[in-house]
Amino acid sequence: MAHFGYTLMTEQAGPAQLVAYAAAAERAGFDFEVSSDHYFPWLDAQGHAPNAWSVLGAVTQVTERVELMTYVTCPIIRYHPAIVAQQAATTQILASGRFVLGLGAGENLNEHVVGRGWPTVDVRHDMLAEAVDIISALFDGGYVTRGGNHFRVDSAKLWDLPDTRVPIAVAVSGKQSVNRFAPLADHMIAVEPNEQLVTGWDAAARGRSRKIGQLPICWDRDREAAITRAHDQFRWFGGGWKVNAELPGTAAFAAATQFVRPEDVAASIPCGPDIDPILKAVSAYTEAGFTDIALVQIGGDHQRDFFDFAEKELLPALRTL
């Protein structure tokens, strides 16, 4: 049976809101919660970007049952991988073993802020592979020294290691990234219901893996209001990751999506009060072999009624799929 999660969307809500939403999502019955890790929102209309790790630390103290996950952290430019390992180990301790470290090759949108430029995708994959090696070595315990092509680590050690080793999940988008990271990671992350990613990962993976997807929806009792909100805040989503990873800021995303119409967004994102479009979109993931699907409810101020809907209608229906 698939598991269903809730997304703590740092781009659309402030830190106190996100912590409250995390507690409410657990009460509503979600199985797990994922957090984006951004320095910028995608569009100015979203309006937020608190530090994900600070939020997750607080979330560990207001939840008891749900698994927590970064979706995803980029450990190659804005963060050094040794720091990510420390953050993840500390979060795992605070979460009493409920944390999964989700990693990815990142977006220019967030990584440019430290002024180190934006490498090509093949270089980013090389950096990510090196970062995963460093993080895994630190999770093993003891001192770690590395002198790779992209990172140096000098006698680093995690002094507070959790009893439960932090699982590592890596975001992939095609055959190249699947073949590169399936042997290095515990689980797969992807944001499209592509069966080839699943079968390719299973063929290259080192063991049984979860496949963790994500689906934006815009639930509202008023369908037109939902479409308007999804267009205002989420029209960037249709650009695809090959485009979204390269654009440097909110103005670029606004320019790139200026001709996207509300009806275009409504055709790709379930909008409104009806449950059937959500079930159909989730089914595409489960039929492709995904084991976990995290929902994004679009609109930072439109979560409260969604939790009631999720508890009473959506989650029971999803569990019958």
What SS3 state is found at 78?
A: coil
The sign of the CA dihedral 246, 251, 253, 256 is negative
Nearest by Cα to 198 from 84, 290, 295:
290
What SS3 state is found at 133?
A: helix
Q: Could you please report the per-residue DSSP string of 144-190?
A: EEEE-SS-EEEEE--SS--SSPPPEEEE--SHHHHHHHTTT-SEEE-
150 is catalytic: no
Rounded Cα–Cα distance for residues 139 and 130 (Å)? 14
Q: Which of 11, 38, 67, 112 is catalytic?
A: 38
107 is catalytic: yes
Q: Which of 26, 107, 111, 130 is catalytic?
A: 107
Longest dimension (CA), the chain: 57
What separation in angstroms does the CA of 2 have from each of 57, 71, 82, 291, 292?
Answer: 26, 18, 33, 5, 5
Catalytic annotation, residues: 38, 107
